[in-house]
Structure 1
Amino acid sequence: MCQTKAAIVLLLLFLAGCKPAPEPVIQISGATMGTTYHVTLVNPGELRADELKRDLDFQLEHFNTIASTYIGDSELNRLNRAAVGEWHDISPVLYAILNMAIEVSWLSGGAFDITVAPLVNLWGFGPQKHEYVPDQAGIDAAMALVGYQKLEMDMLEPKMLKREAVQLDLSAIAKGYGVDATAVWLASLGVTDYLVEIGGEMRMAGKSPRGDSWRIGVENPDPDAEGVLPVAVTDMGVATSGDYRNYFEKDGKRYSHTIDPRTGRPITHRLASVTVLDPSCAYADALATAFSVMGGDAALAMANSQDIPIYLIEKTDEGFVSRYSDAFAPYLEEQ
């Protein structure tokens, strides 16, 4: 399963001198979740950038204590160490993330799976990097510890039970949830026009500083291509997953960092990048990973059946080509 994200670019045309910004703007940025964040507020009223940054840093730091795999005593890591076969109380935030993750796992037929960490580590794409191909016995052993079906959620209270000793990794959904949480916080302050970005995942609302929809750009993985694809969106979350930056080669064969939880092996299809739109950035984040695992044909079929806006970039013998779902077409027409 994909653990890193392809680039998605915010086209801040008002900063590039296209025309003066018609509304006051506040921009704040910082570090979180092993990456960076950027927030743009339009017409912020009496809000001050320094106070917003202080409060946002505090909230994101608290979120990290819940969902991080790198903080030893985070709630997620405590849950990973918790006993098997017992119900454990969890925070409402972690409960919401896990429920959404399981929903996307079910919807994608297991292409998305937050228990995939043993396979990611086995193939050398986890904290301990290496570049060798594991044997089948190692893959089988790791696969025995993978499977979202090994998790059980209480339907009435924020509790979870692990049927087996699985290890949860939320890296393919946590940044998107952090974006959503930040957006909800901004709305609670009365902000109606904003863009939030964490590690390439975005959510925007209202109008851009130009007074129209926000513009984002989907990066082309072709190093010889010029520019990005502009997309007009608002009141929407955006996430992109890609397969063209993180891999290793052994004996002339390329091994992708995108691991299919259903096979235990890196993907072999030619889908290079997928961008997903959804009102929830967390949901878009998880779906982007699922579609990256599924491949172009399966991803497009599922997106069209579920009315999900997605944009695919695939590598062919003639170069990179793009396809998109029916639900994505209106966003291109708004350019």
Structure 2
Amino acid sequence: MSLCQKASLLLILFLLVSCQRTLNRNEFLIAGTYLEIISPDPRSARIVYEEFLRLDKIFNKYDPDSEISRLNKNRSISDASDELIEVLELSAKIGDLTSFSFDITCAKLYDLWKDIIGKQAISFPHPASVSAAKNSCCKRCVDIDEKNNRISLDNKNTLIDLGGIAKGYMVDEAVERLKEEGITSALINAGGDIYCLGKNRGKLWSIGIKDPEDPGRFIKRLDLSDAAVATSGDYEQFFEYKGNRYSHLINPRTGYPADSGVVSVTVVGRSCAVADSLATAVCIDGMKGLSDTIFKKSYASSIFIVKIIKGEQRLFIIDSDSKVKRPLADSDE
């Protein structure tokens, strides 16, 4: 099985772009993430790949020498990069915006559930373990001194997990590097976190949102330019326990798997980091977690939610002007 075929099993978004000869299409696997670059400019792949390698040294929690690993281990660092500071500050903003259904300080809680995700669980974690891990979350315990590039964790039990935002941020930064080099047309796809730079030879880039019940078809086609799109969902990552199906997404407020009934959320906006984190938050909280501020401050331009209602799958399209609900079978392609 090729790299592209392997990755297609993981992607929630898929590209409606054929492999035309006039486009350069390159695929990489970096830090466990499938990275795809499509562009008429042959320089794009190298620029994006090198930027991902650079940022991986900051955000890769599995690398003991990365900045995030050193912060978690030592509780503080005095040589923090501007990039890490920016992501931590943005994470705090998204946390406030979502009433902290997006919370980067819950690494211990997320790790507690990680071992049983995607397989038959013998048992849930003990309630006392869940409570202890949940208590390690401390949304106001990340202290940032920008002037001295110093970051410290004020709670000795708190660990940081940037898995819901770092990948999107890396896409955003790679786009900036392309712009600096005068490249005006490219599509970057990092495991489903996508940015469409410019146009595809004069036409909009086309992205399809997968049908959670039938991944071979799409339920909505998005035609985009200079826009980010990210999807979060539980239909490809979940676990079963006592005959019930549970999401791999953990609600940091309850300490248990999300039960919003949402199976897929796709966010379109200007920033892939913001789209990435918002998609996760809305998947956890459902539509009740949507704030008008998301649209008023242009954090997102539109949000597509697939939810199960009385056994029927429905698509909700939400933006600053309207809230539309219709059966999946009637949705536009």
- TM-score between the two structures when normalised by the length of structure 1: 0.84
Aligned twin of 1:18: none
User: Counterpart in 2 of 1:95?
Assistant: 85
Residue in 1 aligned with 2:235? 244
Aligned length: 313
The amino acid that maps onto 1:173 is I
Q: Residue in 2 aligned with 1:37?
A: 35
Choose 51-60 or 143-152, whichever is displaced more: 51-60
1: CA distance, partners of 2:332 / 2:320: 13
Q: Any residues of structure 2 matched to 1:183-194 within 5 Å, and which?
A: 183-194=175-186
Contact 2:138 2:155 (C-alpha < 8 Å) held by counterparts: no
Q: Alignment partner for residue 161 of structure 1, among 152, 163, 181?
A: 152
Alignment of 1:128-143 (within 5 A): 131=121, 132-143=123-134
2-side partners of 1:53 and 1:224: how far apart? Answer: 28
Aligned residues of 1:310 and 1:328 also touching (Cα < 8 A): no
Q: How does 1:57-96 map to 2 (within 5 A)?
A: 57-83=49-75, 88-96=78-86
For 1:103-122, what aligned pairs fall within 5 Å after superposition? 103-122=93-112
Asked whether the equivalents of residues 97 and 294 of structure 2 are also in contact (C-alpha less than 8 Å), the reply is: no
Runs of 4+ in 1 over 6 A off after TM superposition: 126-130
Bigger shift: residues 172-181 or 115-124: 115-124
Shift of 1:305: 6.3
2:306 to 306, 313, 318: 313
Alignment of 1:160-309 (within 5 A): 160-165=151-156, 166-209=158-201, 211-223=202-214, 226-299=217-290, 303=294, 308=300, 309=302
Taking the aligned partners of 1:148 and 1:250, their CA distance within structure 2 comes to 30
TM-fit CA distance, 1:6: 5.8
| Alignment-mate amino acid for residue 110 of structure 2 | V
1: CA distance, partners of 2:293 / 2:210: 23
**CA-to-aligned-CA distance 1:106-132 (integer Å, 9 cap, x gap):** 111110011222112212348998822
Question: Counterparts of 2:118 and 2:63 in 1: how far apart (Å)?
Answer: 16
Q: CA deviation at 1:9?
A: 1.1
Q: Structure 2: which 5+ residue stretches go unaligned?
A: 1-9, 323-330
Bigger shift: residues 89-98 or 115-124: 115-124
After superposition, the CA RMSD in angstroms is 2.9
5+ unaligned residues in a row in structure 1: which ranges? 16-20
Choose 320-329 or 240-249, whichever is displaced more: 320-329
- 1:183-236: CA deviations, max 9, x gaps? 111111101111111111011121113x22111011110138843411111111
1:302–1:311 distance in 2 versus 1, CA, 3 Å: farther
Normalised by the length of structure 2, the TM-score is 0.85
How many angstroms apart in 2 are the aligned matches of 1:334 and 1:234? 19
2 CA distance for matches of 1:56 and 1:138? 41
Aligned partner letter, 1:108: T
Partner Cα separation in structure 2 for residue 126 and residue 191 of structure 1: 44
- Residue 325 (1) aligns with residue 318 (2): yes
Which structure would you say has the larger RCO, counting Cα contacts within 8 Å and 6 or more residues apart?
1
Counterpart of 1:97 in structure 2: which amino acid?
A: V
Matched, 1:8 2:6: no
- 1:124 maps to a residue whose letter is K
Asked if the contact 2:120/2:241 (under 8 Å) is kept, the reply is: no
Distance (whole Å) between structure 2 residues aligned to residue 130 and residue 167 of structure 1 = 27
